[in-house]
Amino acid sequence: MELLIPRPGIGQIKPYRSIQPAGEDRSWVDLSLTVNPLGPSPMALNAYRQNATQIHRYPDVRQEKLRRAIARRHGLDWNHIACTAGSDEMIHLVTQAFAGPGDEVLCHEYGYRGFLKAIRASGATPVVAAERDMMVDVEAMIDRANGKTKICFLANPNNPTGTYIPAEAVQRLRAGLPAHTLLVLDCAYAEFCRRTNYEDGTEIVESSDNVLMVRTFSKIHGLAGLRIGWGYGPAKVIDAVNQIRSPFNVGFAAQAAAIAALSDTEHERASLEHNDRWLPWLSKELSLIGLRVYPSACNFLLVRVPPDPSLGVQAVTEHLARRGILVKDVSDYGLTDCLRITVGREDENRALVDAFAEILS
């Protein structure tokens, strides 16, 4: 008889599918993960190194310096900020704090997969609202909410679709959800979304008492390997997260690096400039080759490959791999004929387009 049985829901979590080649080989052009092609902020790297001699110490439980630095940079109240080991941990903690068996948690069809994992781990039931042409459908989400809906997750902009909804639509979603539903706005790619009708969540957090904004140092600041995320929301949400988080969840040197990254406006400017130049370039070149490229407000593109099996996802990814290029197959999102491609350095972007041209022309 089986004695050790994980809670229901755990077995339904699909494991994260890594496509990274095993071993230490870093010679691949890796466009499969949505990281910063310019690397980390040099100021962050320096701060990290300077703190290397102190890593025998536990980090500040209150995360005070980091929270104050985030608050200063973004014009927020530091008392309403909590920091986590990547924004993924915030997603898990907030789900654990507000939902459990018998509750429902709403997310969107092609929404970031971390949501589903956190929901299943909490024992709550995921409810998935359909999207429309890779766009979040606010009305469909509101329709699926009910008395049991404890949380509604919205990634804005979203990974892997790259699409976003404007501030007015987020407000409409908040207004249409029950008051007892916490709206969690995952804005991991907020800095890249430079559309005038976009809002990163700060305003809606401040004008309501049931919205949490989640952010990360993994994307624009290039610190994915250090695992630093944060949330900004009402005291009752921040307090609940702090109550269940491990006291030392964000490492000492990671906190120092994040503080330095916040003042490295030059790295941030260069990263945005790079993305503003190469995202449209990649989009145009891949469209010219005949791929359907979805509009993206992020640092990656979702592209649809032709239905022809000899040119399908598998054939294309294998061909690119032979050229030393990794891209992300997103079939685990139900997007069986799509690939997610992150903007790389100039030479990497050009190599990618050349490799696609070889197989598709």
Binding site for ligand PLP (CB under 6 A): 34, 86-88, 112, 114, 155, 159, 186, 188, 216, 218, 224, 229
Nearer Cβ to ligand PLP (224/359): 224
Q: Cα 169 to the chain's mean position, in Å? A: 20
Position of minimal CB gap to ligand PLP: 86
Alpha-carbon separation of residue 346 from 178, 275, 279 (angstroms): 47, 10, 11
Q: In this complex, which beta carbon is closest to ligand PLP, that of residue 86 or of residue 222?
A: 86
End-to-end CA distance of the chain: 58
Least distance to ligand PLP from the beta carbon of 98, Å? 18
Q: Smaller CB distance to ligand PLP: residue 188 or 326?
A: 188
Polymer length in residues for the chain: 361
- Scan for tokens 């409810």, then name that residue: 127
Specify whether the backbone of 290 is left (phi greater than 0), alpha (psi in -120 to 50) or beta: left
In the complex, the smallest distance separating the C-beta of residue 179 from ligand PLP, rounded to whole angstroms, is 25
For ligand PLP, which is the closer residue by CB, 159 or 181?
Answer: 159
Q: At its nearest, how many Å lie between ligand PLP and the CB of residue 218?
A: 3
255 or 285, CB closer to ligand PLP? 255
Residues 312 and 6: beta-carbon distance below 8 Å: no
- Answer whether 140's CB lies under 8 Å from 128's CB: no
Nearest distance in Å: CB 233, ligand PLP: 16
Angle at 120 between CA 114 and CA 122, to 5 degrees: 100
Min dist. Cβ of residue 90 to ligand PLP (A): 8
3-state helix, strand, coil in the chain (%, to 5): 45, 15, 40
| Residue 55, both tokens | 């890593």
In angstroms, the Cα distances linking 231 to 94, 112, 213, 240 are 10, 17, 5, 12
User: Are the CB atoms for 222 and 40 separated by under 8 Å?
Assistant: yes
Q: Rounded to the nearest whole angstrom, what is the least distance from the CB of residue 300 to ligand PLP in the complex?
A: 9
Whose Cβ is closer to ligand PLP: residue 131's or residue 285's? 131
Min separation Cβ 130 and ligand PLP, Å: 19
Nearer to ligand PLP, 114 or 351 (CB): 114
